[in-house]
Amino acid sequence: MQSSIRKLVLFVLLITAITPAQEMKMQNPLLSEWKTEFQTPPFDLIKSEHFLPAYEEGMNQQKREVEAIVNNNEKPTFTNTIEAFEKSGKIFIRVNNVFNCLTGASTNDALQGIYMKVAPLIAKHYDDIYLNGKFFERVKSIYAEKDQLHLTTEQKVVLELYYRDFLRGGANLSGEKKEIFRLINEKLSLLGVKFGENILKESNSIGLILDKHEDLDGLPEGVVQGAAETAKAKGLNGKWAFTLQRPSWTPFLQYSTRRDLREKLFKAYLNRGNNGDQFDTKNIIREIISLRVERANLLGYKTHADFKLEINMARNPDNVYKFLNDLWTPSLKKAGTEAAALQKMIDDEGDNFKLQPCDWWYYAEKVKNDKYALNEEMLRPYFKIENVIAGAFGVATKLFGLIFVERKNIQVYHPDVKVFEVKETDGKHVGILYTDYFPRDGKRSGAWMSELTGQSNIGGNYVSPVIYNVGNFTKPTKDKPALLSFDDVNTLFHEFGHALHTLLAVSVYPSGKRVPIDFVELPSQVMENWASDPEVLKMYARHFESGKPIPRELIDKIEKSGQFNQGFETVEYLAASFLDMDWHTILDTVKKDVNEFERKSLMKHGLIPEIESRYRSTNFQHIFSDDGYSAGYYGYIWAAVLDADAFAAFKETGDVFDKNTARAFRTLLEKAGSDDPMILYKNFRGREPNVDALLIKRGLN
């Protein structure tokens, strides 16, 4: 009896000895192994308050792991240094991936507040690693002996990445300069978060409220109904609201007969971040650009663009400018021809005004209808979102033998989200794909793909990918399902291409999947070719009411109009690419007048007044929300050369699903990142890419 009492007392003492920190750790789902199938996040258990302590624990754990690597008395080897670091930081990476998912697609004030706290902590965490002199000495000693080591191709690539990362992360800086470098990174992390937060607020705001039926003239029924439901959700019963999200403002500009209202909505969209209020981003941009120049100079680079492009396929700013200019001249010429055609329609209709940027969508739609007897509303009924998703999945099945099975028993972070298990045709598990396709408050604009768990296979411990696709497409209404525009269809296929790239990767190391920013868009953009291919359209484009496949007549019209408006689309994109490069080839830290700098940039390159840059500086999230696409926005059209050339490889066989070509392309996707991307591309194509395929595709030749 006394023994039982002693055991009970000991048990009570143990329980009471648990500290609040330990108790929080036990209760925090981000800090324990997920027992879910496929180790997917238990979103139902994860709360905002879990993130900060989980981040702190995750960073502390990785710090201890790095200390163990650095203090290892054995001779530095790939295994005890590079591979050991590749295996580190599991909690930190898990927390960061979930947090990025939620702050991108389903954020709130609490998460944004945490974001402002953790951004500088993350910047400091990485600086602590890459500014660690002892760690760099280990990496440097391995790198010096790389030719004598028996490394695999992927290990050589990963070693090169780490050596380069340390150099670019300030490892060679002196003590005082290291502290300046840290401070710059901390400031940039906060400025990027603030920029993104401001544009999120701007994009979710209402750009136009209408309360008269006559103000809706020309708008399709679905657009009117969607605007009514948006207004109701915003507490504006009996009115119609158009937001600055693309699915809302684009059809208004295409179809509204009210030029004054089109201009008002377009200007609201164009001036996001440029209204002199609490969400204005001009001062943020001035600070970001100045700090990026200072950081580049600290590291020994002339400009931020020189720093960024060193690791890209383009290599340097001169190559990018030459590439852009080679496309700019024929694109601008075609855009001028298109502008003349739109002006002619304005004149023919008896209107006495000069074509303005806010008019382009409306008159382009009318010219397209007049020239090809085709408009967007004729196509929408055939692009029910569920059918488009099935079409994308069907392409992946025919190309790569992948099967997608919806799983309704896996937790999601929002009711709009669906989950699919991806398998090989023999039933082997490949990965998990979440899809999240409708706009809402709390989701940033645009479309993207990212991962919750990255694929790896260190030491034979295979980890399968868990990834997600996000979009902002037209929502279903009470009377109609979500019917996509053809542009939305291409975007869905585009992001699905990123997903396929990540699902098919078979690297050993997480870093073995890293590819240059001007290559990463190849797997996504090439998928757009299948989206519009006649054979593929017959697979998935079915009328949402009758279920009948899209008629051959409409397919022919899509094909014939394929080069329509390509001058405009290429020029507005190239203008933004020039703007990006001009900002990031600034040589000094003097803070610029943002609007004046932009005006001079676009004037210098000769942008015609009828077209605006795809993004104004004040809402250019690609280059200012984070560092990812800064001096890299050109990468989309660089990769467009690759994707047009790659799809031509399929077309040349006479079968867009040719098995041998698909097998070779799958190999390219599987290995991308674990070898030089140009070598991999030449292995696939038998030669370097040819720009001719892109010029022909866009009618710019």
Sign of the torsion angle spanned by Cα atoms 682, 684, 690, 695: negative
* 545 SS3 class: coil
Predicted confidence at residue 690, as pLDDT, reads 83
Q: Per mean pLDDT, which range of 68-77, 573-582, 669-678 is the poorest?
A: 669-678
Q: pLDDT tens across 115-163, in order? A: 999 999 999 999 999 999 999 999 999 999 999 999 999 999 999 999 9
Residue 162 and residue 148: Cα distance in Å, rounded?
A: 18
- Using the predicted structure, report yes or no on whether residue 20 has a pLDDT greater than 80: no
What number of CA atoms fall less than 13 Å from residue 457's CA on the CB side? 12
- Using the predicted structure, report yes or no on whether residue 261 has a pLDDT greater than 70: yes
Residue 94 and residue 40: Cα distance in Å, rounded?
A: 10
Amino acid at 670: E
Please name the residues in contact with 587: beta carbons below 8 A apart, sequence gap of 6 or more.
293, 302, 303
Mean pLDDT of 315-331: 96
What number of CA atoms fall less than 13 Å from residue 284's CA on the CB side? 29
- Determine the CATH number of domain 23-172: 1.10.1370.40
Predicted confidence at residue 25, as pLDDT, reads 64
Band the pLDDT of 584: cuts 50, 70, 90. Answer: very high
Domain boundaries, the chain: 23-172, 206-270, 292-360+367-372+563-701, 381-543
Tokens of 310: 């060193």
- Do 292-360+367-372+563-701 and 23-172 fall under one CATH topology? yes
Tokens of 465: 């990918």
Calculate helix-pair angle for 109-130, 175-204, nearest 10 degrees.
Answer: 160
- Nearest one of 166, 196, 191 to 178, comparing CA atoms: 166
Mean pLDDT of 619-638: 96
- Using the predicted structure, report yes or no on whether residue 625 has a pLDDT greater than 90: yes
322 — phi, psi (to 5°)? -65, -45
Band the pLDDT of 26: cuts 50, 70, 90. Answer: low
Predicted confidence at residue 17, as pLDDT, reads 47
67 — phi, psi (to 5°)? -60, -40
Predicted confidence at residue 149, as pLDDT, reads 96
Please name the residues in contact with 301: beta carbons below 8 A apart, sequence gap of 6 or more.
307, 310
Residue 374 and residue 559: Cα distance in Å, rounded?
A: 11
Band the pLDDT of 701: cuts 50, 70, 90. Answer: confident
Q: pTM to 2 decimals?
A: 0.94
* 423 SS3 class: strand
Mean pLDDT of 530-557: 97
Report yes or no: 507 and 487 within 8 Å, Cβ to Cβ.
Answer: no
Predicted confidence at residue 354, as pLDDT, reads 98
Predicted confidence at residue 382, as pLDDT, reads 98
Please name the residues in contact with 159: beta carbons below 8 A apart, sequence gap of 6 or more.
78, 82, 139, 142, 143, 146, 151
Question: Catalytic residues, which ones?
Answer: 495
- Determine the CATH number of domain 292-360+367-372+563-701: 1.10.1370.10
Residue 574 and residue 580: Cα distance in Å, rounded?
A: 10
> How many other β-carbons are positioned within 10 Å of the β-carbon of residue 652?
10
Residue 337 and residue 355: Cα distance in Å, rounded?
A: 13
Residue 339 and residue 568: Cα distance in Å, rounded?
A: 8
Amino acid at 681: Y
Tokens of 245: 């999200």
Please name the residues in contact with 46: beta carbons below 8 A apart, sequence gap of 6 or more.
29, 30, 98
Report yes or no: 400 and 662 within 8 Å, Cβ to Cβ.
Answer: yes
Residue 248 and residue 244: Cα distance in Å, rounded?
A: 7
Report yes or no: 282 and 594 within 8 Å, Cβ to Cβ.
Answer: yes
Band the pLDDT of 521: cuts 50, 70, 90. Answer: very high
- Nearest one of 341, 362, 340 to 259, comparing CA atoms: 362
Strands (DSSP E) contained in 326-411 are 402-406
- To which residue do tokens 């979710």 refer? 204
Between the alpha carbon of residue 203 and those of residues 197, 392, 476, 643, the distances in Å are 10, 28, 20, 31
Question: How open is the CA angle 454-577-365, to the nearest 5 degrees?
Answer: 100
Tokens of 457: 């296979």
- Using the predicted structure, report yes or no on whether residue 384 has a pLDDT greater than 80: yes
Predicted confidence at residue 296, as pLDDT, reads 98
Question: How open is the CA angle 256-348-216, to the nearest 5 degrees?
Answer: 10
Calculate helix-pair angle for 133-144, 153-168, nearest 10 degrees.
Answer: 140
Predicted confidence at residue 691, as pLDDT, reads 84
Q: How many angstroms separate the most distant Cα atoms in the chain?
A: 104
Tokens of 624: 């200012």
The CATH class of 381-543 is mainly alpha
Mean residue pLDDT across the chain:
95
- Nearest one of 356, 305, 270 to 618, comparing CA atoms: 270
Tokens of 104: 């991108």
